[in-house]
A and B are shown apart, each in its own frame.
Chain A
């Protein structure tokens, strides 16, 4: 008997047992909705599963029964006792067939047409004819000593008086005498039909148990006995019967209690071990070793009782796919791998619905119609593949299809339309970042709502459900090739691997699943916590990681940023909802397998913790909920966003490249300045350098040009050839002495903002090397004492520069100052308007890349009436309607020209 069938029989038998009691209630009150519903569900389930397993007899009986029950349920018919009787008979018939199925592994021959006919007739509202009892006998080919329940339909075709009860028998009820007779007839010599007649089983079991060596006497012992007796004639039947005997259902609460007790045992053992470890020679050592081993094994076994193969959550999927394929007129092949992968039944239950939903999604949205597939050069048959495997204490489930893949363009449009992302930002995002929007709440790309999916329960619900059990979901999609979802979930919810960390003298556990890595920060470590407008970030490899202090999440004010410099701190890099963030903790202890215990309701409103656990030393610690930390970061993130956005923008799809001149000065480490600022590269004869006014000067093109060293540790050469970068501003030239000009690169300038020491804008990665980007204005001010004195040649004009990105702010303001303007550089539009209140500027330069909407506020504000507003953008084709002109940030000459024009306009106005 195959496993599926065995499972089906076990499950259905149990169902039938519960329904037995409900049938009695139903009989007493056929209008009771709840009872009717549960009987209906049972019959419905049997019908569905039988259709799938290929059991026509059961299916047809169940179907006819369901039809009648359905009529009762929706109120079309009011059940009469005769009709109730018919329902009972159909349930009994199911039991009989099931019993035979369990014994032989195949559905018995038999004719149910009379019963089905009667059921159909009743469903149409005709009075129910009584079903001849003979048909029941036909159902079982062997002579049957019908125990208990079988007796019922045969015996009670009409209402009879029972002397024992002193009243009329209800339909389907059996008189006590008959019950007695049924028991008596179930003698050990008889072939006992294994119809869930638990009462009869022990009677049958006793004598047989003597012969075979200690057979496992369990619930449903009868079929096993039978199999032993008949072992010659059907080995397969025996296998099937035994397999259904070897599983019993145990209340989860019992397992839960067992689990609690085992964890307590483990704790006690740990304490004992600790005590014995402190004594040198103890007679307890040996026994304790054994106790320890047994405890570990016990813990393992108890864990195993909770484990189930993931295949059991997949059982219904073939049917769903089949139905979906039929409804959608598609050809779909479902391939399942790794069904034997085991995980906790609790997790299994919780993953069922999201999985079903995802499979439906794949059928509906993922795979194309056959015609479209053929047109795309694929086979008509689309395939959906489910794959499960273990990976480091977690289970990974992959759901992939070879369908059309996600349409990046459509998702992007929709995301922008739904306001999930600004248009500008959306264009800079990678395909996979865009794809992840399908997990956003209320997001659906389906053009049409079908019966299969698109009912408003989208991927966000799937994501939420998966995250609820501490899992993560991600996807990979190639347009035209298909989509692959990765679900990573913990093996069990009861025991999780967690990192124990310390914050403010208290220990907390962080679930390992959400932890990406651990980084040492502060002190002498290479990573440093930095502050951007009160938001803390960590520079980690090539990205800025938003940080939140654990104590802050817990409601304790964070340390002063400066304190990070001296104290040693750790950053736990975590991932939640696809977002990476860092959590600053004071100490890191250990990873431990912890038993998660739920929190009491009194602590329900705290929200920061997902539970508590007891550590090996008996102390209780709280388990941090990664979601809560994530929400906390979200608040902090708004502050960091600007900076991160600026970084992402340059990293995105349309990176703005900047030409940089790379050179060496005072060491191997490359340094760079923007090429646009450099007028000329010269190699000057060092012997021609002169000293004057404490500076190194050289006669250059008929003028005296000061030269400064790019690095204080690299003195300007006195002999040979000295490479010099020449900058000119405002008719004044200055030179910067370098050791060696290395290269000119045209790359996306991915600058990380450090600017710790004067003269340095930050460090950027150029050609794969960390390169210091120098602040030219600093050097120029060293060289030309009057270089930023605007009064040299022209009367000062006041200009306000609105630029969120500090890099550009630092880059542009010296440029404008050099051109003779007085510059007020601010980061927000509001700040600009405040400046304008004090002194009306000649012109305003504003960035329109980050937030064009607020930039437009400048155009309509009274405080700036008559002032030209020049738009700045990284791209030459940005929308600058309404602005005086549009200038590219990297185009220095047109920038100056535009400002001059704007200022002239102001004078004219």
Chain B
């Protein structure tokens, strides 16, 4: 239902030419934005089963209302240091990728922002390649920068 609702909203957003809606998330100290249409769910992490032998960015699997969700550690994926206190209390952004449920583990989830295309800028050339892979560009916000986070690219390497 939420997916449907967000989809409708985002279509509405598209109608408002030149703007896009983002959910802001924090990974370490950096502010990222995930497009609303990509997001199915936002939930706080309760119980995570590690999968021995899986790649480092796969934090484990969890049960989300009877579905098994593969959790991807955004910090690891972005080459950021792991949280000293582990995964406890982290938030997850639930997405669907190739018919499978994934959760992107982030430090916190902020708000929904409607951002204007005029504030958008492509990635600076000197950006870390790890980040270039998963981001299409940057929005200039007041006092801070918001990196866009492309879910497909984030997961395409994870599932490769």
Contacts and interface: CB of A to CB of B under 8 A. Distances in A.
Interface of A: 260-261, 263-264, 267, 506, 554-556, 597, 599-609, 612, 614, 618-622
B139 interface: no
Contacts of A622: 49, 51-52, 61
A608 B53 CA distance: 8
A603 B63 contact: no
Contacts of B63: 614, 618-620
Nearest to A503: B52
Given A607-B53, A620-B49, A621-B49, A261 B66 contact: yes
23 contacts: A261-B66, A267-B66, A506-B52, A597-B68, A599-B61, A599-B70, A600-B68, A600-B70, A602-B54, A602-B100, A602-B158, A603-B70, A605-B54, A605-B55, A606-B52, A606-B53, A607-B53, A609-B51, A619-B47, A619-B49, A620-B49, A620-B60, A622-B52
Contacts of A506: 49-50, 52
Contact of A606 (B49, B51, B155): B51
B159 A600 contact: yes
B31 interface: no
B45 interface: no
Contact of B72 (A556, A602, A607, A614): A602
A821 B110 CA distance: 84
Contacts of B68: 597, 599-600, 612, 614, 620
Contact of B66 (A603, A604, A614): A614
B54 A554 contact: no
Given A554-B52, A618-B47, A264 B65 contact: yes
A629 to B, nearest CB: 12
Interface in B58-95: 58, 60-63, 65-68, 70, 72
A264 B72 contact: no
The 4 A-B residue pairs whose C-beta atoms are closest, nearest first, are: A264-B66, A554-B52, A600-B70, A600-B100
Contacts of B118: none
B2 interface: no
Contacts of A556: 52
Contacts of B55: 602, 605
Contacts of A605: 54-55
Contacts of B62: 620
A585 to B, nearest CB: 14
Given A612-B68, A614-B63, A603 B58 contact: yes
Contacts of A618: 47, 63
Interface of A is mostly: mixed
Nearest to B98: A601
Contacts of A264: 65-66
Most buried by B among A260, A604, A619, A620: A620
B159 A554 contact: no
B32 interface: no
B102 interface: yes
Given A618-B63, A620-B62, A622-B61, A602 B70 contact: yes
Contacts of A620: 47, 49, 60-63, 68
A430 to B, nearest CB: 37
Nearest to A615: B63
A806 to B, nearest CB: 35
B101 interface: yes
B100 A608 contact: no
Contacts of A599: 61, 68, 70
B35 to A, nearest CB: 21
A555 B50 CA distance: 13
B66 A555 contact: no
Given A602-B55, A622-B52, 9 more contacts: A554-B52, A556-B52, A600-B68, A600-B100, A601-B159, A602-B102, A612-B61, A614-B63, A620-B68
A555 B56 CA distance: 13
A622 B159 CA distance: 18
Nearest to A508: B52
Interface in B146-160: 155, 158-159
A601 B66 contact: no
A597 B61 CA distance: 12
A605 B47 CA distance: 23
A621 B52 CA distance: 11
B98 A606 contact: no
Nearest to B72: A602
B118 to A, nearest CB: 36
A620 B65 CA distance: 12
Contact of A555 (B49, B53, B70): B53
A612 B70 CA distance: 11
Interface in B92-113: 98, 100-102
A608 B159 CA distance: 16
Nearest to B65: A264
Most buried by A among B58, B68, B155: B68
Nearest to A264: B66
Contacts of B49: 506, 612, 619-622
A602 B58 contact: yes
A43 B12 CA distance: 50
Contacts of A603: 51, 54, 58, 61, 70
Nearest to A260: B66
A607 B68 CA distance: 18
Nearest to A507: B49
A506 B49 CA distance: 8
Contacts of A619: 47, 49, 63
A506 B68 CA distance: 17
Most buried by B among A506, A600, A619, A620: A600
Contacts of B66: 260-261, 263-264, 267, 614
Contacts of B53: 554-555, 606-608
A519 to B, nearest CB: 24
A556 B100 CA distance: 28
B58 A608 contact: no
B74 to A, nearest CB: 14
A620 B70 CA distance: 11
B47 A600 contact: no
B92 to A, nearest CB: 14
A600 B102 contact: yes
A602 B47 contact: no
A852 to B, nearest CB: 40
B87 to A, nearest CB: 14
Contacts of B158: 602
B60 to A, nearest CB: 8
B160 to A, nearest CB: 9
Contacts of B60: 620
Contacts of A621: 49
Nearest to A265: B66
Contacts of B47: 618-620
A608 B61 CA distance: 15
Nearest to B66: A264
A597 to B, nearest CB: 5
A186 B57 CA distance: 65
A264 B159 CA distance: 27
Contacts of B101: 600
Contacts of A600: 68, 70, 100-102, 159
Contacts of B155: 602
